[in-house]
């Protein structure tokens, strides 16, 4: 259900852009209004969500420790997976965010009836995720060339690194556009993630529309982007004009940009607007996860719970009151002798109680 | 107890393929052997838990309180506000499935709702359906559903089919800790009186008598005295520990499981002998006579209420610091929660080993030191006289308890100790030890008799790893530093790996201890003939009498 819904939803979005721009010519809407609204939603939503998380209390220090803790001086602690200082936490987080260290650990269950259980290393998810996320990052950064003038040197360097068949371009001027590896890797990564979700039964079983939809959306974004670049060869100069207009808050809508550009652009806008309300917020969440971003020094340093409150306990005196007689009999020390306790319990003690008391030996 | 447990062949036939049906349409089946008895009304009343009543999970009507939905909603809302972990984990799971095949209950049952991600979805779907606009409008399409009695039954079934072992959290790219979600979910269903007897009764006992078995002060003392007699018989040493003694330097607290049942009692004998050997000035407490905290499986509040007694007792007795015995979840609580909930214990000193002078820097705030750290330090400083050959008839492997490994990071200390008291130690495969360790399958209050089949299923991955080293390396002793492990492994081993014994690390230490004035160690602490014992060759060799004293 979620699968079909998501395909249809993305196709409908494509249709909306095609009709909106191609049929109705609503270029200002799709070129200016929606992009602004989407970017605004993105930033406002992102900030709201992250601040909301960040402000919620972390009552306990609960890191998941994946290595030796810092204990006795002669035992070597695992500084990355069991951080003992803020710096080590930064290191752990950096590995987590930049190299997906936890996913790298992934193992695959191999269950044989018998029963025998084996685990083998499983790096596909890690690989696909790395391809996807890093390529996505490069692609986004690359798009900055549309919004900046002059184009920064480092951006050009990045493009050179990303591109191949470059000499063709150099030789023939505006001939064949440079093939950008990042775009292809992005498309590859997202498709592989999609295929994995379809092919692995357990993953298919847990997938919701919210999982399919962003995958299809990003697939289509990548496809339309590649289409626009290599097949339709949209007029980059005009696109840049539009982008610069948006970036400088002097929007202009140049004529002659292919409708496919608007499809691409609209899908990107949808992605931006959808982002803060979806699981894509893992981007912000990964930094805030208490099991990963806390120092494991819970016994060495006091951690404060902002909502800690006093509770009813069964204190020692109540306990002794419950068992005093047995304790005395067993030779356990008591705070109050039986006589003292008895006297306290009944200040004007009636006579029969005394007999009981006097029999006990004192400590 | 209640159900006849099927044979290993039957239990081992597991299908890990999910059914065609959507998970929201499947219901749990409460069958003998796979569900837990309900918390008894009397236990709930003792500690003031809500909705005490007599009921049974197989009943149609669970006798939930009138406004149970309101209570649950409120409970969720409050916890979303109190725990960033909960809020975040509700939002950022991408359902990548990296955690899916990491849970021992999934491996042992094949039930897809035992995939950690889906276990969390059980509550996440309610979060979306009841709290999020998209879920409220789109319902199932947005992964949301409504709160119904069916959902509560499902929660009860699956949240007590999670031992809160955190293995899933190691593999999740965001560290989503399904154990944390389970802890909070159990807390929520406790609000409407849905809990299990094997947690509720120990909680009530701990509260009233100080320990989960409900051992009264004199019984607690007597039990330990029996063990002293055994030590005298097998080791030839008379030990006289103190109880509730004011002015002792150190308060020793261990899980009460060590006080009464095999093989935990052998571990306790190990503590007694170790302390005697080094002449430690310490005391037992009958009031703080339980390290294990079943409140941890009930609610954060109950955890605090039960753990308070350790600090309170340390104050009353005027000790300098607290030493803790071998226990898993006791140490998770001590390490991650105690100082925050019950501290800081300003009346205690920095923990310093009176024997070696080592300051336990890692425990300067809680003032609680783990016995294995303590022993490792003693060995490192050459303070113990050890004869590891006394353990030569054992080939030992070590089970990292989930809590001390993934909640603390104590991995090397036990290995160091074992390697110094045993000559034959082998580790299991790297995929199943240290932070990757598999749960015993009975943690977090699930070690009830009526639950045996489920426990054997949950313990299968651990048992299977032991079986491999038993077959390949001749392992015959599974050691651990957790009282629940000691309580449940014997049944697990008998079922899946017959012939493997179970012990605490301190028992191995005591076997190897060469104590002043000890007799012949012909018998081990278990009262069995000690196969590693070499009788002195008095009748034959005349000139070798000198060796006698040394060995
Ligand atoms: S590994 Fe983490 S993100 Fe992936 S499905 Fe499991 S809980 Fe969700
Ligand atoms: S905490 Fe352990 S038992 Fe619970 S879901 Fe995770 S792996 Fe399974």
Spatial contact of B443 and B165, defined as CB atoms under 8 Å apart = yes
Instruction: Read off the pLDDT band of B2 (50, 70, 90).
Output: low
Q: Hey, whose CA ends up nearest to atom 2 of ligand 2?
A: B165
- d(CA B512, CA A38) in angstroms, rounded, equals 71
Instruction: Read off the pLDDT band of A175 (50, 70, 90).
Output: low
Contacts of B476 (CB under 8 A, 6+ apart): B394, B395, B470, B499, B500, B501
**Is the confidence at residue B548, as pLDDT, over 50?**
no
Nearest CA of chain A to the CA of B545: how many Å? 40
| Contact state of B174 with A286 under an 8 Å Cβ cutoff | yes
- Best to test chain B binding among A4, A7, A115 (most B CBs inside 10 Å): A115
Q: What does the pLDDT read at residue A308?
A: 95
Q: How far is the centre of ligand 2, averaged over its atoms, from the C-alpha of B115 (Å)?
A: 8
Instruction: Read off the pLDDT band of A229 (50, 70, 90).
Output: confident
Spatial contact of B345 and B304, defined as CB atoms under 8 Å apart = no
Contacts of A10 (CB under 8 A, 6+ apart): A213, A216, A217, A220, A267
Q: Tell me the pLDDT tens digit for each residue of A112-152.
A: 998 999 999 999 999 999 999 999 999 999 999 898 888 88
Q: Which residues of B504-516 are buried (b: 16+ CB within 10 A; e: fewer)?
A: bbbbbbbbbbebe
Residues 446-505 of B with CB under 8 A from A: 460-461, 464-465
Nearest CA of chain A to the CA of B78: how many Å? 11
Which neighbouring-strand residues pair with B250? B282, B321
Instruction: Read off the pLDDT band of A177 (50, 70, 90).
Output: low
In this structure, how many other beta carbons lie within 10 angstroms of the beta carbon of residue B160? 27
Instruction: Read off the pLDDT band of A164 (50, 70, 90).
Output: low
Instruction: Read off the pLDDT band of A288 (50, 70, 90).
Output: very high
| Contact state of B14 with A58 under an 8 Å Cβ cutoff | no
| Contact state of A75 with B100 under an 8 Å Cβ cutoff | no
**Considering only A164-173, A181-190, A299-308, B59-68, which range has the smallest mean pLDDT?**
A164-173
Give the CA distances from residue A304 to residues A323, B297, B336, in Å, rounded to whole numbers and listed in that order: 35, 22, 12
Mean pLDDT, residues A13-42 = 96
Residues 138-167 of B with CB under 8 A from A: 140-143, 166
Q: How many residues can be counted in chain A?
A: 363
Mean pLDDT, residues A151-167 = 78
Nearest CA of chain B to the CA of A328: how many Å? 9
Closest ligand 1 atom to Cα of B94: 3
Instruction: Read off the pLDDT band of A357 (50, 70, 90).
Output: very low
| Contact state of A314 with B207 under an 8 Å Cβ cutoff | yes
Closest ligand 2 atom to Cα of B161: 3
Q: Tell me the pLDDT tens digit for each residue of B255-311.
A: 999 998 999 999 999 999 999 999 999 999 999 999 999 999 999 999 999 999 999
**Is the confidence at residue A362, as pLDDT, over 60?**
no
Residues of chain B contacting residue A203, judged by C-beta atoms under 8 Å apart? 95-97, 100
- d(CA B186, CA B162) in angstroms, rounded, equals 10
User: Residue B206's closest chain A neighbor by CA?
Assistant: A314
- d(CA B547, CA B141) in angstroms, rounded, equals 80
Residues of chain A contacting residue B121, judged by C-beta atoms under 8 Å apart? 206
Which three-class secondary structure state does DSSP give residue B54? coil
Give the CA distances from residue A46 to residues A283, A312, B89, in Å, rounded to whole numbers and listed in that order: 10, 41, 17
Tally C-beta pairs within 8 A across A and B.
Answer: 315
- CB-CB: which of A72, A117, A326 is closest to B217? A326
Instruction: Read off the pLDDT band of B3 (50, 70, 90).
Output: low
Cβ neighbourhood burial of B133 (10 Å; 0-12, 13-18, 19+): exposed
Spatial contact of B181 and B118, defined as CB atoms under 8 Å apart = no
- d(CA B346, CA B348) in angstroms, rounded, equals 6
- The pTM (predicted TM-score) of the whole model is 0.93
**Is the confidence at residue A243, as pLDDT, over 60?**
yes
Instruction: Read off the pLDDT band of A161 (50, 70, 90).
Output: confident
Question: Mean pLDDT, chain B, as a whole number?
Answer: 95
Closest ligand 2 atom to Cα of B116: 5
Cβ neighbourhood burial of A361 (10 Å; 0-12, 13-18, 19+): exposed
Q: How far is the centre of ligand 1, averaged over its atoms, from the C-alpha of B175 (Å)?
A: 8
Which ligand has the minimum distance to the alpha carbon of residue B89?
1
Instruction: Read off the pLDDT band of B550 (50, 70, 90).
Output: very low
Nearest CA of chain A to the CA of B309: how many Å? 7
Q: Tell me the pLDDT tens digit for each residue of B49-61.
A: 999 999 999 999 9
Q: Tell me the pLDDT tens digit for each residue of B202-256.
A: 999 999 998 998 999 999 999 999 999 999 999 999 999 999 999 999 999 999 9
Contact of A80 with chain B, judged by CB distance below 8 Å, is answered with no
Mean pLDDT, residues A243-255 = 94
Here the tokens at position B528 are 């069995």
| Contact state of A69 with B362 under an 8 Å Cβ cutoff | yes
Q: Hey, whose CA ends up nearest to atom 1 of ligand 1?
A: B172
Mean pLDDT, residues B63-88 = 97
Tell me whether the omega of the peptide bond preceding residue A153 falls within 30 degrees of 0, making it cis: no
Does residue B178 have its Cβ closer than 6 Å to ligand 2? Answer: yes
Residues of chain B contacting residue A116, judged by C-beta atoms under 8 Å apart? 464
| Pocket of ligand 1, beta carbon within 6 A | B 93-99, 116-117, 171-174, 176
| Contact state of A72 with B172 under an 8 Å Cβ cutoff | no
CA dihedral for B518, B519, B520, B526, sign (positive or negative)? negative
Q: Tell me the pLDDT tens digit for each residue of B495-546.
A: 999 999 999 999 999 999 999 999 999 999 999 999 999 888 776 655 444 4
**Is the confidence at residue A156, as pLDDT, over 70?**
yes
Contact of A296 with chain B, judged by CB distance below 8 Å, is answered with yes
Question: Mean pLDDT, chain A, as a whole number?
Answer: 90
Which three-class secondary structure state does DSSP give residue B529? strand
Q: How far is the centre of ligand 2, averaged over its atoms, from the C-alpha of B168 (Å)?
A: 6
Contact of B413 with chain A, judged by CB distance below 8 Å, is answered with yes
Site to substitute for ligand 2 among B170, B183, B407, B439, most atoms within 8 A of C-beta: B439
Instruction: Read off the pLDDT band of B549 (50, 70, 90).
Output: very low
Q: Tell me the pLDDT tens digit for each residue of A73-106.
A: 999 999 999 999 999 999 999 999 999 999 999 9
Residues 227-246 of B with CB under 8 A from A: 243-246
Contact of A175 with chain B, judged by CB distance below 8 Å, is answered with no
Mean pLDDT, residues A206-233 = 93
Residues 89-108 of A with CB under 8 A from B: 96, 100, 102-103, 105-108
Q: Hey, whose CA ends up nearest to atom 3 of ligand 2?
A: B162
Which neighbouring-strand residues pair with B479? B398, B503
Report which DSSP code applies to B101.
G
Helix axes B68-82, B84-91, angle to 10 degrees: 100
Q: How far is the centre of ligand 1, averaged over its atoms, from the C-alpha of A222 (Å)?
A: 25
Q: What does the pLDDT read at residue A356?
A: 46
Spatial contact of A76 and B384, defined as CB atoms under 8 Å apart = no
Residues 78-107 of B with CB under 8 A from A: 80-85, 87-88, 91-98, 100-102, 107
Comparing C-alpha atoms, which of B350, B328, B332, B353 is closest to residue B341? B332
């Amino acid at each position: 259900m979620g699968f079909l819904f998501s395909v249809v939803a993305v196709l409908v979005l494509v249709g909306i852009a095609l009709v909106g721009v191609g049929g109705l010519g609503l270029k200002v809407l799709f070129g200016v209004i929606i992009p602004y609204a989407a970017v605004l939603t993105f930033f406002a939503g992102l900030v709201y969500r992250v601040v909301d998380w960040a402000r919620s209390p972390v009552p306990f220090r609960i890191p998941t420790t994946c290595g030796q803790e810092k204990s006795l001086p002669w035992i070597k602690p695992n500084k990355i997976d069991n951080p003992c200082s803020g710096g080590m936490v930064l290191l752990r987080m950096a590995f987590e965010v930049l190299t997906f260290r936890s996913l790298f650990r992934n193992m695959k269950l191999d269950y044989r009836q018998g029963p025998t259980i084996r685990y083998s290393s499983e790096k596909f998810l890690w690989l696909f995720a790395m391809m996807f996320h890093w390529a996505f990052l490069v692609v986004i950064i690359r798009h900055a060339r549309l919004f900046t003038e002059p184009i920064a040197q480092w951006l050009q360097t990045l493009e050179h690194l990303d591109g191949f068949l470059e000499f063709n371009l150099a030789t023939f001027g505006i001939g064949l556009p440079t093939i950008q590896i990042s775009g292809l890797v992005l498309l590859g990564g997202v498709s592989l993630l999609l295929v994995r979700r379809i092919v692995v039964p357990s993953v298919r079983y847990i997938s919701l529309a919210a999982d399919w939809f962003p995958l299809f959306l990003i697939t289509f974004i990548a496809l339309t982007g590649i289409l626009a670049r290599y097949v339709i060869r949209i007029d980059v100069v005009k696109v840049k004009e539009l982008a610069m207009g948006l970036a400088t808050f002097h929007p202009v809508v140049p004529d002659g940009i292919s409708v496919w550009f608007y499809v691409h652009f609209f899908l990107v806008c949808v992605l931006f607007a959808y982002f803060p309300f979806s699981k894509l917020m893992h981007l912000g969440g990964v930094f805030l996860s208490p099991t990963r971003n806390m120092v494991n020094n819970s016994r060495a340093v006091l951690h404060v719970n902002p909502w800690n409150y006093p509770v009813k306990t069964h204190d020692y005196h109540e306990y002794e009151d419950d068992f005093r007689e047995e304790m005395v009999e067993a030779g356990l020390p008591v705070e109050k002798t039986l006589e003292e306790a008895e006297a306290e319990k009944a200040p004007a003690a009636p006579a029969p109680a005394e007999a009981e008391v006097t029999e006990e030996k004192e400590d | 107890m209640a159900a006849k447990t099927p044979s290993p062949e039957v239990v081992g036939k597991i299908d890990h393929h999910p059914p065609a049906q959507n998970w929201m349409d499947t219901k749990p089946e409460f069958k003998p052997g796979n569900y837990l008895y309900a918390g008894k009304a009397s236990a709930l009343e003792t500690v003031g838990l809500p909705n005490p009543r007599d009921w049974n999970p197989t009943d149609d009507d669970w006798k939930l309180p009138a406004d149970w939905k309101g209570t649950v909603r409120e409970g969720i809302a409050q916890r979303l506000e109190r725990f960033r972990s909960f809020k975040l984990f509700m939002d950022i799971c991408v359902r990548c499935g990296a955690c899916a095949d990491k849970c021992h209950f999934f491996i042992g049952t094949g039930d897809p709702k035992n995939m950690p991600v889906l276990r969390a979805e059980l509550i996440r779907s309610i979060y979306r359906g009841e709290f999020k606009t998209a879920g409220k409008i789109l319902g199932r399409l947005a992964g949301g559903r409504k709160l119904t009695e069916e959902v509560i039954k499902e929660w009860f079934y699956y949240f007590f089919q999670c031992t809160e072992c955190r293995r899933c959290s190691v593999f999740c790219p965001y560290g989503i800790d399904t154990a944390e979600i389970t802890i909070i979910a159990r807390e929520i269903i406790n609000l409407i009186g849905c809990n299990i007897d094997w947690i509720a009764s120990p909680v009530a006992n701990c509260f009233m008598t100080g320990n989960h078995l409900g051992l009264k002060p004199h019984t607690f003392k007597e039990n330990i005295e029996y063990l002293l007699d055994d030590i005298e018989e097998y080791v030839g040493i008379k030990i006289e520990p103190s109880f509730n003694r004011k002015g002792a330097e150190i308060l020793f607290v261990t899980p009460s499981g060590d006080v009464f049942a095999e093989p935990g009692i052998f571990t306790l004998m190990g503590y007694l002998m170790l302390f005697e050997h080094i002449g430690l000035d310490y005391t037992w407490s009958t009031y703080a006579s339980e390290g294990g905290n079943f409140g941890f499986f009930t609610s954060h509040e109950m955890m605090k209420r039960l753990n308070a007694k350790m600090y309170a007792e340390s104050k009353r007795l005027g000790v300098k610091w607290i030493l803790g015995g071998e226990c898993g979840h006791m140490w998770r609580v001590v390490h991650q929660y105690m100082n925050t909930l019950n501290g800081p214990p300003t009346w205690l000193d920095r923990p310093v080993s009176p024997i070696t002078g080592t300051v336990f820097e890692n425990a300067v705030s809680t003032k609680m030191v783990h016995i294995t750290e303590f022993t490792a330090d003693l060995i490192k400083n050459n303070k113990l006289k050890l004869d590891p050959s006394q353990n030569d008839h054992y080939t030992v492997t070590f089970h990292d308890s989930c809590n001390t490994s993934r909640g603390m990071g104590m991995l090397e200390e036990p290995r160091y100790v074992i390697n110094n008291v045993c000559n034959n130690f082998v580790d299991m495969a790297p995929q199943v030890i240290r932070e990757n360790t598999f749960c015993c399958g009975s943690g977090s209050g699930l070690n009830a008799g009526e639950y045996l089949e489920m426990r054997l299923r949950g313990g299968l991955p651990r048992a299977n790893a032991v079986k491999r080293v038993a077959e390949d390396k001749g392992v015959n002793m599974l050691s651990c530093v957790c009282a629940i492990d000691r309580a449940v492994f014997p049944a697990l081993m008998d079922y899946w790996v017959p012939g493997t014994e179970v012990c605490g690390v301190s028992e191995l230490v005591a076997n190897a201890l060469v104590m002043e004035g000890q007799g012949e160690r012909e018998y081990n602490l278990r009262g069995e003939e000690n196969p590693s014992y070499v009788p002195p060759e008095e009748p034959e060799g005349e000139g070798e009498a000198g060796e006698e004293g040394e060995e």
